[in-house]
Amino acid sequence: MAMMPSWQDKTFGGRKLGGKIRAALWLETEVGEGNIFTKAQLRQAFPGDAQIDRRVRDLRDHGWRIDTSRDDPALKQEEQRYVTKGAEVWIPGQAKTAKHKNSLTDAQRRKVWQDDNFLCRTCGVGVGESYGDGGIELSKLNVARREVLMADGSTEFQLVTECKRCGTRAGERQVDLGELLSTVKALAPLERKVLAGWMEADRRALSPLEKLWGVYRTLPADARAVVKQAVTDED
Ligand SMILES: [Zn+2]
């Protein structure tokens, strides 16, 4: 593992450490994931940097999750919670990998939507559709960055289509691709075939069993009893 500079270092390996990097190191070593810090503590640690609040906010563009009282009602107004670490910005090159939301061009955005069939990958709503909950709100698609833990243990931020509603509801989501792949490998051949069919169609068709259940549950009691009898009868 590479050596980590101290948050108090102003240079490391001949490189100048900026406020953002030092703020990241401070969160990692002094606060620790899951813990709360206040703006006063932050300013006390970095008395020379008037922009230190902004440096911490900028870390979000590198996948760092830092909640405020707006994200987490359990926090007081002056408190923030360091939820999860993002890119290790103190490693040369790591800080450059993040792409700011606004830096996406219309063409890049459209490419992400196209790859996702113009569906919110979180709730499945299409573009400009109603949510089917009786509300008048129509969906608006955005592009979100999803933290993907790769099978080799590295982390990537990949772009995904997400509707505005899903984007405001949840915090950062993370997916463990390695775990997912081992679950796929453990599937029985029939399960794998069914899954492959859904993936090909990009939707889940109801199985004959589910269709049967769907009809069965709507039947009157007498009719249900007949069907139930047929199922439990052994030939
Ligand atoms: Zn959605």
Q: 3-state DSSP: the chain helix, strand, coil percent, rounded to 5? A: 40, 20, 40
Centre of ligand 1 to C-alpha 32, Å, is 31
Q: What's the CA-to-centroid distance between 174 and ligand 1, angstroms? A: 16
Tell me, in angstroms, the distance from the centre of ligand 1 to residue 168's CA: 10
pLDDT on residue 99: 47
Give the pLDDT confidence score for residue 102 in this predicted structure: 55
List, for the chain, all residue ranges whose pLDDT scores fall below the cut of 50: 1, 98-99, 101
Q: Tens digits of per-residue pLDDT, 52-72?
A: 988 898 898 888 889 888 778
Ligand 1 centroid, distance to 145 Cα (angstroms): 14
pLDDT in tens, 20-29: 999 999 999 9
Tell me what pLDDT residue 62 has: 85
Q: Which residues surround ligand 1, an ion (CB under 5 A)?
A: 120, 122-123, 125, 163, 166
In this predicted structure, what is the pLDDT of residue 154? 86
Q: Output the pLDDT for position 209.
A: 85
Among 67, 80, 77, 86, which residue's Cα sits nearest to residue 28?
Answer: 86
Domain ranges in the chain?
Answer: 11-96, 101-174, 206-235
State the Cα angle at 71 between 88 and 32, rounded to 5°: 40
Cα 161 to ligand 1 centre (Å): 9
Give 88 Cα–ligand 1 centroid separation in angstroms: 30
Determine the pLDDT at residue 13: 79
* Strand ranges (E), the chain: 11-12, 15-16, 35-38, 65-67, 79-84, 141-149, 155-163, 174-176
Measured in angstroms, how far is the CA atom of residue 139 from the centroid of ligand 1? 8
194 contacts 207 by C-beta, under 8 angstroms:
yes
Ligand 1 centroid–CA 126 distance in Å is: 8
Rg of the chain on CA atoms, in Å: 24
Q: How far is the CA of 41 from the centre of ligand 1 (A)?
A: 37
Query: What's the gap in Å between 80 CA and the centre of ligand 1?
Result: 27
Indicate the residue type of 23.
A
| Rounded distance from Cα 133 to ligand 1 centre (Å) | 13
Spacing, Cα 205 to ligand 1 middle (Å): 20
